[in-house]
Copies of this chain bind each other. A is one copy, B any other.
Amino acid sequence: MPRHLERDLERLRKEILEVGSLVEEAIDKVIKALMERRPEIARDVIDGDEAIDAKEVDVEEHCLKILALHQPVAIDLRFIVAVMKVNNDLERMGDLAANIAERAVYLAAHDAIRLPDTFQDMAATVRTMVRQSLDALVNMDVKLARGVLRRDDEVDAANREMFEALQQLMHDDPASIERAVQALSSSRNLERTADLATNVAEDVIFMIDGEVIRHSRRGLTEH
């Protein structure tokens, strides 16, 4: 491989991990904002989404430049295409965190409702999935990627639990309906974040093994 291509690919690995770190931080913060009813942290997440958006644009431009300049083939080409897709998925995760942040602002401005304990565990699992899917990408680690797929089932189950608990709350206390709908939306957005981390893991497996597994798993478990 020409040395310049190797250098550019190394830079790309660093860049995509940086976007990933911003997304992980946004997830941490938004869960804190939601659980501790702290709208100022939620607003931080909403403002911070711009930085993630700007980085997405940069990474895509760099991918296009590397493609045009080095015209890579085989695994290098597949890696760059995977980075472009993952980049897009990360940006969507940032949007979802900002979306949950809006729900957190709403919920903090109204009387507290009890959020099921499941929620915090679910958030921790999603955060781990994001981290591991990116590590799998930059280290080309298929085993780690497969671990991410397994965790997605846990998150789906947690999301279903959230739905049941929150629908029960609406029955028990109709005055809480609007707040419960906001909490449902937060849970669903977290579950979608896990789906996106799963996409990343699937793209890693496809990049390395050429195995298309993404459509045997994705799509129909979501609420």
A residues at B contact (CB < 8 Å): 46, 49-50, 53-54, 56-57, 63-64, 67-68, 71, 73-74, 77-78, 81, 84-85, 88, 95, 98-99, 102, 163, 167, 170-171, 174, 177-178, 181, 184-185, 188, 212, 214-215, 218-220, 222-223
What's the Cα separation between A64 and B212 when bound, in Å? 15
What's the Cα separation between A170 and B49 when bound, in Å? 33
Whether the Cβ atoms of B67 and A99 lie closer than 8 Å is no
Chain B residues with CB below 8 A from A220, complex form: 46, 95, 98-99, 102
Chain B residues with CB below 8 A from A50, complex form: 215
Number of chain copies forming the complex: 2
**Residue of B64, B171, B185, B218 touching A95 (CB-CB under 8 A):** B218
Q: How near does chain B come to A50, taking the closest CB pair, in angstroms?
A: 7
Give 14 CB contacts A-B under 8 Å: A46-B220, A49-B219, A64-B77, A67-B67, A68-B73, A68-B74, A81-B84, A95-B218, A95-B219, A98-B219, A102-B220, A163-B181, A170-B174, A185-B188
Q: How near does chain B come to A88, taking the closest CB pair, in angstroms?
A: 6
Chain B residues with CB below 8 A from A84, complex form: 81, 84-85
Closest chain B residue to A56, Cβ basis: B215
Q: How near does chain B come to A166, taking the closest CB pair, in angstroms?
A: 9
Whether the Cβ atoms of B181 and A177 lie closer than 8 Å is no
Chain B residues with CB below 8 A from A56, complex form: 215
Given contacts A78-B64, A170-B174, contact A185 B88 (CB under 8 A): no
Chain B residues with CB below 8 A from A54, complex form: 215
Closest chain B residue to A181, Cβ basis: B167
Chain B residues with CB below 8 A from A68, complex form: 73-74, 77
What's the Cα separation between A77 and B61 when bound, in Å? 12
Closest chain B residue to A78, Cβ basis: B64
What's the Cα separation between A85 and B170 when bound, in Å? 39
Closest chain B residue to A49, Cβ basis: B219
Chain B residues with CB below 8 A from A170, complex form: 170, 174, 177
What's the Cα separation between A218 and B57 when bound, in Å? 14
What's the Cα separation between A170 and B179 when bound, in Å? 13
